[in-house]
Amino acid sequence: MPLVNGGKIVDDSFVKLAVDTPLPESGDILVPAERFLGEADALLKRAGKVGVIWPNSRDISELVPYLGKLAVVALVFPTFRDGRAYSQARLLRERYNYRGELRATGQVLRDQFVFMLRAGFDAFDVKKQADAEAFMQTAKRYSVFYQPTGDGRITALHRRMQLRHSEGVGT
């Protein structure tokens, strides 16, 4: 699956570990939640960055003590219909101020990019090559947003206020 980060297709430096894969000596690793919570101290001490793959059915607040030390949080879309990870993403970004890489994994298709970006994702394990290639074009599809989220984009309501005030200046 191609990884899109910063709007471009990039090489993934992270190796995904299963629950029982032996720990490589060095290099960046992505670890399942269960395993991460079990051996967090050991994992964080070794050389190389650590990321965690967090299931969408587990309370994201359990991660809070580690957020400063994690390079990646990967949230999971087991099917594109299951939107729980959107809520987790917003909580991480907006409530817990997580600033590291927030990666969408699983059934990630181009038609969700806008929603994911708005919810705070900045990296995407995209399922189809063609979708990954269409990232920039698809991500720019919308210029109007009705609701405030942590992505900081101005909402339609506030854009109207601005327009109204700037019109008001001249009169």
User: By the criterion CB under 8 A, which residues form the site for another protein?
Assistant: 80-84, 86-87, 90, 94-95, 109, 111, 114-119, 130, 141-149, 156-157, 159-161, 164
14 versus 112: smaller Cβ distance to another protein: 112
CA 94 to chain centre: 12
By beta-carbon proximity to another protein, the closer residue of 53 and 88 is 88
Shortest Å distance, C-beta 150 to another protein: 9
Give the nearest distance from C-beta 27 to another protein in angstroms: 33
Angle at 155 between CA 153 and CA 161, to 5 degrees: 125
Q: Least distance to another protein from the beta carbon of 135, Å?
A: 14
Task: Write the DSSP assignment of 82-134 as a string of letters.
Answer: --HHHHHHHIIIIIS---SEEEEEES--GGGHHHHHHHT--EEE-SSHHHHHT
Kindly tell me which of 7 and 38 has the beta carbon lying closer to another protein: 7
Q: Is 81 helix (H, G, I), strand (E, B) or coil?
A: coil
Residue listed under structure tokens 């009169």: 171
- Please say which residue, 50 or 149, places its beta carbon nearer to another protein: 149
